[in-house]
Structure 1
């Protein structure tokens, strides 16, 4: 298939390498302009889980990417979703499929509804997290660290669930299972739950740019705080009639862990993997993305459904205090989707259409 990938970071590069290695015609686009310049002249080299050297094409614009693609994959940071989607919307056409990897704050619902307003009939598939974990290691190099053993996928419209499932399996293999709807996909993402507490409780390490392995510093008390926030996420999902995995179940599915408690899971992963290293940049996505588009989004849903979320609230406010700005106000999708005016029944009708 002809596949266009928006994003040239670790996940964008890893996805491009994986799909091109499987024989697809892959084109990448860097929304910031220069992220993929090297790929115009040299192959994309992948190491780790995937050892490969492949050729991929480079699109000069969102228009060029959308024009040439049967399938589009959005693989940019969460705080870039709306800008990238707005750039692509004028150039989409009916019949295209778009995969959002990974989706948060119902960004895929925004894309789907905005396409409908323009009279464009697309299928949007949502992942709660990425198929691959990866880090870009050079201008034309990426290290793929993990391919998940199982991943949920939802579809808009829901009537095309089977088609979306088949497409994702064709792209990345038989690891996908169908999920209720894109709200379930949004609430499946445990990154904000884990990343927020890890960043806040290890902030001096981040600010001093120390080398700190994440799982080693997910100590028992930090793990307790994370599971408290996770319990609020699970209660929120139940309020919408959804059942999502616990954070412990997520690690077991993603990394094959066998321990029962989060603290023991962290120790197990540290013993097996050593890393990955924690962030050393005060602009880390652990706060800049995961707070506005993860935990602050859950706060809005909690207000909508009448679910108390004191631990989530505390984490968002503490992160905002550390960075000196209101992180909750940085989520563009809350207003774009009019979520503060929505009801639980109304939101479910939109994601279940």
Structure 2
């Protein structure tokens, strides 16, 4: 899973700036990414999954960097990966409705709060004037199936599947 959060780069994208993705991960942005990751890890743990955290992801993706904060590691990655220059990019149009919003829905059903994810969805929805939840044409069907399988606070296990994820 790529750890790009569309709400952190919104002003640069809106202006169509040419910008370096990793070099723009400041300490504040890095802390936000780490806190978002804690929420994601908590949700995975609710299902009994152990998934790779953002630090492990960086070290796996960029094996020549030293461990550190997300900001430190991103700085070591350096230049070469440009950020999007339009708001019509997959990090917003796909990752938000098909990635972040479903995670928020699962968190609500399990009583595992994802307040930073929810805030990001609310900010992008308000600032872009788009109902991203309605853009996910399979979400309601998936949620109905989860409800039928009793995936809720009283049952935090998936109906089938391994306890550790091969795709961390």
**Fold equivalence (TM over 0.5):** yes
Cα 1:346/1:210, change in 2 over 3 Å: closer
Q: CA deviation at 1:339?
A: 4.8
CA distance in 2, matches of 1:346, 1:269: 37
2:58 match: 251
Q: CA deviation at 1:239?
A: 0.5
Q: CA deviation at 1:335?
A: 1.8
CA distance in 1, matches of 2:95, 2:50: 21
Q: Over alpha carbons, which structure has the higher Rg? A: 1
2:70 match: 262
CA distance in 2, matches of 1:318, 1:241: 30
TM-score normalised per structure 1: 0.42
Q: CA deviation at 1:313?
A: 0.4
Q: CA deviation at 1:334?
A: 2.0
Does 1:211 pair with 2:43? no
CA distance in 2, matches of 1:208, 1:333: 32
1:75-133 deviation digits (Å, cap 9, x = unpaired): xxxxxxxxxxxxxxxxxxxxxxxxxxxxxxxxxxxxxxxxxxxxxxxxxxxxxxxxxxx
1:275 match: 80
CA contact (8 A) 1:213 1:278 kept: yes
Q: Gaps (5+ residues) in structure 1?
A: 1-188
Q: 3-state SS of the aligned residue for 1:348?
A: coil
Instruction: Report which stretch shifted further, 317-326 or 242-251.
Output: 317-326
| Alignment of structure 1 residues 285-304 onto 2, 5 Å | 285-304=90-109
Q: 3-state SS of the aligned residue for 1:349?
A: coil
Does 1:348 pair with 2:158? yes
RMSD across aligned C-alpha pairs, in angstroms? 1.9
2:4 match: 195
CA distance in 1, matches of 2:104, 2:86: 26
1:325 match: 130
Cα 1:258/1:343, change in 2 over 3 Å: farther
Runs of 4+ in 1 over 6 A off after TM superposition: none
CA contact (8 A) 1:304 1:343 kept: no
CA contact (8 A) 1:195 1:290 kept: no
Q: CA deviation at 1:290?
A: 1.1
CA contact (8 A) 2:46 2:157 kept: no
CA contact (8 A) 1:305 1:343 kept: no
CA contact (8 A) 2:4 2:91 kept: yes
CA contact (8 A) 1:293 1:331 kept: yes
CA distance in 2, matches of 1:346, 1:203: 34
Q: 3-state SS of the aligned residue for 2:4?
A: helix
